[in-house]
């Protein structure tokens, strides 16, 4: 499995954009580097303060850009066309608040930004979707690892309340704002990013359907479709899940990627006539990586991973007691599923071609 797709090349403006905003030292660059560059969380201590807007383009199952916008950029005072330059074709605005610090200033700035956007996008003539086209505001209550469980919940509620109250006071109750509590030291940041990205995936309902179908057919308890590089999941079946399930599945990706890295190196051709050469002449390996782990404890779950394409992998938790027995059935269904996913992602270009005819 490949595990890097970073590409610093030129920006294509029409790609959906994720803006990372927040006060100085709030943790924006840390988040971007941990999620998209695999930087170990403890190494974020060495990150330097961001001076200019830092744009990175991600190539994956869909292309998008991540812009790290330093607190010093005073976009709200800029002329309108410049502001449009920042906010047009924005998929999501992620606002990072340092929950370990005094957060009133951060909330103040965020509220200014939200109100500005609400005024700009609000169209009362469309009562069913009055904020059509407005980027989703994703508030990350961040660095919660440093807080006790109780205090964490209090801080989260307090921040959420202050923001929603202010927005409601101005009559924008229905504005698209979502809250997450996050830390780069655990899975919460990946879970939050997954939810943010899922709002930008037009194929989400189709993918969820496929995953639900897979679960009901094969006794899968929980299934995720992962972007392998970032360990963001772009869809999951719709049964309620918990974060330990996500962690278990994303940890399996780590193991598979790590072992694949160690043993997937390009070897010289085997010696002619050797045992290995004869074996390799007869058959080839899996074109898509496949992994399965069964536990020793009776009744424990079994983990399964299958590469779906260059970027995506299906990972699931199953309650299979004797996988050997069900193996053929599982494999068959997983293959069908992989084909289904690839069809979902091909539909759009084909429709567009049709339209051009």
Partner 1 sequence: PPAKRMKPRKVLLMGKSGAGKSSMRTIVFSNYVARDVRRLGATIDVEHSNIRFLGNLFLNLWDCGGQDGFMDNYLTPAAAGGQRESVFANVAVLIFVFDIESREFVADVANFAAVVGALADCSGTPGTRASRPSPQPKASDKSPASPATTAADTTSSSTVGKEAPKVFVLVHKMDLVPPAQRERLFAERAQHIRARAGPFAARTAFYATSIWDQSLYRAWTAIIHTLIPNADAIELLLQRLAAAIGARELILYERTTCLVVTSATRGAEQANPFGDRCERLSSILKTHKQSLARHTRSQPGSAHFRDFELRTSRFAWFVTRLTENTNLAVVLPPGEQLFNFARAGVAAARARFVELDVGGGGREVKGEG
Based on CB atoms, which residue is closest to partner 1, 80 or 283?
283
> Tell me, what DSSP letter sits at residue 38?
-
Q: Helices 188-198 & 243-263, crossing angle to 10 degrees?
A: 100
Q: Is 24 in the site for ligand GTP (CB under 6 A)?
A: yes
* Residues 36-75: x where in contact with Mg ion by CB under 5 A, - otherwise, as a string: --------------x-------------------------
Token pair of 66 as six digits:
């991540």
List CB contacts of 294: < 8 A, sequence separation 6 or more: 300, 302, 320, 323
Comparing C-alpha atoms, which of 341, 338, 343, 325 is closest to residue 219? 325
Count of beta carbons in the 10 Å neighbourhood of residue 136: 18
Based on CB atoms, which residue is closest to partner 1, 128 or 283?
283
* Interface positions, 227-246, toward partner 1 (CB under 8 A): 244-245
Q: Is 347 in the site for partner 1 (CB under 8 A)?
A: no
* Helix, coil or strand: residue 179: strand
Between CA 103 and CA 106 the distance in angstroms is 5
> Tell me, what DSSP letter sits at residue 144?
G
Q: Is 29 in the site for Mg ion (CB under 5 A)?
A: yes
Applying CB under 6 A, which of residues 15, 121, 185, 248 lies at the interface with ligand GTP?
185
Q: Is 300 in the site for partner 1 (CB under 8 A)?
A: yes
Q: Is 181 in the site for partner 1 (CB under 8 A)?
A: no
Residue 290 interacts with, from Mg ion, partner 1, ligand GTP, none (CB under 5-8 Å by kind): partner 1
Binding region for ligand GTP (CB under 6 A) out of 25-33, 213-221, 277-285, 302-310: 25-33
Comparing C-alpha atoms, which of 45, 55, 44 is closest to residue 19? 55
Binding region for ligand GTP (CB under 6 A) out of 20-28, 208-216, 240-248, 328-336: 20-28
Between CA 271 and CA 188 the distance in angstroms is 49
Q: Is 33 in the site for Mg ion (CB under 5 A)?
A: no
Between CA 322 and CA 330 the distance in angstroms is 12
Question: Which residue in the block uniquely carries the two structure tokens 């299979």?
Answer: 320
Applying CB under 6 A, which of residues 17, 19, 21, 50 lies at the interface with ligand GTP?
50
Q: Helices 204-218 & 323-356, crossing angle to 10 degrees?
A: 160
* Residues 35-74: x where in contact with partner 1 by CB under 8 A, - otherwise, as a string: -----x-xx--x----------------------------
Between CA 151 and CA 143 the distance in angstroms is 13
Between CA 129 and CA 345 the distance in angstroms is 27
**Minimum distance between the CB of residue 233 and partner 1, rounded to whole angstroms?**
16
Residues binding partner 1: number (CB under 8 A): 51
Q: Is 30 in the site for ligand GTP (CB under 6 A)?
A: yes
Based on CB atoms, which residue is closest to ligand GTP, 28 or 222?
28
Count of beta carbons in the 10 Å neighbourhood of residue 269: 8
Applying CB under 8 A, which of residues 111, 212, 260, 333 lies at the interface with partner 1?
260
- Binding footprint of Mg ion on the chain (CB under 5 A): 29, 50
């Amino acid at each position: 499995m490949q595990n890097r797709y970073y590409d610093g090349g030129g920006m294509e403006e029409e790609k959906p954009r994720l803006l990372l905003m927040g006060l100085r030292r709030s943790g924006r660059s840390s988040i971007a580097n941990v999620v998209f560059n695999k930087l170990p969380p403890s190494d974020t201590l060495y990150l330097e303060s961001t001076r200019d807007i830092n744009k990175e383009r991600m190539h994956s199952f869909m292309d998008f850009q991540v812009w790290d916008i330093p607190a010093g950029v005073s976009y709200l005072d800029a002329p309108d066309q410049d502001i449009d330059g920042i906010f047009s074709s924005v998929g999501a605005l992620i606002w990072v608040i340092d929950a370990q610090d005094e957060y009133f200033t951060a909330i103040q700035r965020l509220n200014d930004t939200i109100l500005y956007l609400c005024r700009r996008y609000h169209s009362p003539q469309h009562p069913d979707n009055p904020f059509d086209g407005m980027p989703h505001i994703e508030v990350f209550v961040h660095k919660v690892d440093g807080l006790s469980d109780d205090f964490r919940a209090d801080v989260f509620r307090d921040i959420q309340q202050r923001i929603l109250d202010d927005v409601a006071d101005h009559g924008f109750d229905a504005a698209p704002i979502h809250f997450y509590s996050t830390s780069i030291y655990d899975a919460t940041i990946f879970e939050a990013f997954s939810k943010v990205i899922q709002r930008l995936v037009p194929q989400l309902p189709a993918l969820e359907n496929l995953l639900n179908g897979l679960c009901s057919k094969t006794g899968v308890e929980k299934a995720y479709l992962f972007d392998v590089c970032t360990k963001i999941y772009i869809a999951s079946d719709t049964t309620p899940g918990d974060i330990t399930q996500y962690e278990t599945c994303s940890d399996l990706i780590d193991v598979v990627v790590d072992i694949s890295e160690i043993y997937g190196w390009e070897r010289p051709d085997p010696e002619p006539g050797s045992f290995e050469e004869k074996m390799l002449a007869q058959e080839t390996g899996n074109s898509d990586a496949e992994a399965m782990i069964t536990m020793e404890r009776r009744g424990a779950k079994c983990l399964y991973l299958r590469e779906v394409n260059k970027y995506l992998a299906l990972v699931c938790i199953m309650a299979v007691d004797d996988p050997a027995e069900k193996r053929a059935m599982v494999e068959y269904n997983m293959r069908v599923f992989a084909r289904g996913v690839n069809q979902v992602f091909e539909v759009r270009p084909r429709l567009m071609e049709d339209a051009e005819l």
